[in-house]
Amino acid sequence: GESVGLHLPTLSVQEGDNSIINCAYSNSASDYFIWYKQESGKGPQFIIDIRSNMDKRQGQRVTVLLNKTVKHLSLQIAATQPGDSAVYFCAENPDNYQLIWGAGTKLIIKP
């Protein structure tokens, strides 16, 4: 079936550098995408979302880019901090109620 997946399962980044987490999706009908952050032992936490009529959206230290041509999403985190250590999930929302989640990328911050 349709699925959302991630290119890299683990990403190690030096503290202070920028992080880029990538995600591929395959459901061409999806028009809404979300990034979540999940810290160890906690539930997922919303970071940022983007609709398909946009190709870029910025939040506080985070930017999401959407390339519909190649069905690719990325999450950019500026000036990565130790508190950014977590597993990051992209998810697509093909209908009103269901989210299809990718497998996740673990972000490790090196001091």
Partner 1 sequence: NAGVTQTPKFRVLKTGQSMTLLCAQDMNHEYMYWYRQDPGMGLRLIHYSVGEGTTAKGEVPDGYNVSRLKKQNFLLGLESAAPSQTSVYFCASSYGSRTGEAFFGQGTRLTVV
Q: Footprint of partner 1 on this chain (CB under 8 A)?
A: 4, 9, 32-34, 36, 41-46, 49, 89, 91, 93, 96-104
Which one, 42 or 111, has the nearer CB to partner 1?
A: 42
d(CA 95, CA 110): 38
DSSP secondary structure of 90-111: EEE-SSSS--EE---EEEEEE-
Q: How far is the CB of 15 from partner 1 (least distance, A)?
A: 26
Q: How far is the CB of 77 from partner 1 (least distance, A)?
A: 18
